[in-house]
Chains A and B, each alone.
Chain A
Amino acid sequence: MNSQNKKNTKNQEIKQLVLDRLKVLSPGTIISIGSEGDFTRDQMIENVEDSTEIGELFTEMQIEWLRSFQKLATAQ
């Protein structure tokens, strides 16, 4: 597998991880992303699936969160 394929696979895995976290939220959840707008759970799922700007920002937020655990684990 070349590096581009590896990167694509990793991105797909990250996207799936974020989608899995979104799909288990209560359906009435509203996620407000400042000036970008307010999104229901299902709208955010669509944004992540379609890799829109909002979806990418939300994914970035989730990666930051997961990285913080990695740092914590490394420090311990």
Chain B
Amino acid sequence: MFLITLPDYEIATRYASKWAELTIKFTTLKVIKLSQKKANKKTVSSFLKKQPVKLVMFNGHGDESTIYGNDDEVLIKSGLNEDLLNSKIVYAVACSCAAILGPSSVKKGCKAFIGYKRPFMFAGWGNAHNPILDDRAKPFFESSNLIVTSLMKGCTVEESCNKSKQLIQNSISQLLSSQATNDDRMDASMLFWNSTNLTYSGNGKSDIYH
């Protein structure tokens, strides 16, 4: 099973969730899709406890020890309930939580926790009505989604992270072409930041099927 949280209460969560939702069509796993108000602690905890979830994608805000759901409700917090991630592979598009929550989840049995050590950044045009149509945001979220779609195809955690970093490198190269605008150069620097801070804790050789 694939569990995905899709909070949506301001621009950043709307962008992250609308783009992340695109990953669903790439999986043959049964999907537990927790959109907007369903991205709450009670519901997430219940599914993680009772269902054989193999892969989790959290979208939303975070800090070094916490992942938040809709309206900034705490979903997973280091020292509180990270044991819910036991035996799962997790990817969190949430700021900084790979710093503390990642390693502490692995100590409690999580197979691997992929995330960002520092804030996840992106640039766009603020198209709140349809973030998917915002081409400027595309390289940020396409490279993020590639982690999940690679895991769905059977890649290991390490391979999936490397694919994402390679896609970011390709995007940076394109953005820095001779036709580059000032916007392109700025976006390249933000992509580089995300790539630098993308990391994982746990078993890099693990995949969701074994």
Q: How large is the interface on A (under 10, 10 to 19, 20 to 34, 35 or more residues)?
A: 20 to 34
Tell me if B63 counts as interface (CB < 8 A to partner A).
yes
Please, which residue of chain A has its CB at the minimum distance from the CB of B124?
A30
User: In the complex, which residues 82-121 of chain B have their Cβ closer than 8 Å to any Cβ of chain A?
Assistant: 94-96, 119-121
A24 touches B122 (CB 8 A): no
Interface size on B, residues (CB 8 A): 29
Per-residue B-contact encoding for A42-70, CB less than 8 Å = 1, 0 else: 00000000000000010001101100100
Q: A35-B61, A35-B95 are in contact. Are A30 and B189 (CB under 8 A)?
A: no
Report B's interface with A, CB cutoff 8 A: 10-12, 15, 61-63, 68, 94-96, 119-126, 182-183, 185-186, 188-190, 192-193, 196
B119 touches A25 (CB 8 A): no
Find chain A residues with CB under 8 A from B185 CB.
21
Please, which residue of chain A has its CB at the minimum distance from the CB of B192?
A65
A-B contact pairs, 10 of them (CB 8 A): A21-B186, A28-B126, A30-B11, A30-B123, A33-B121, A34-B95, A34-B120, A35-B63, A35-B94, A57-B119
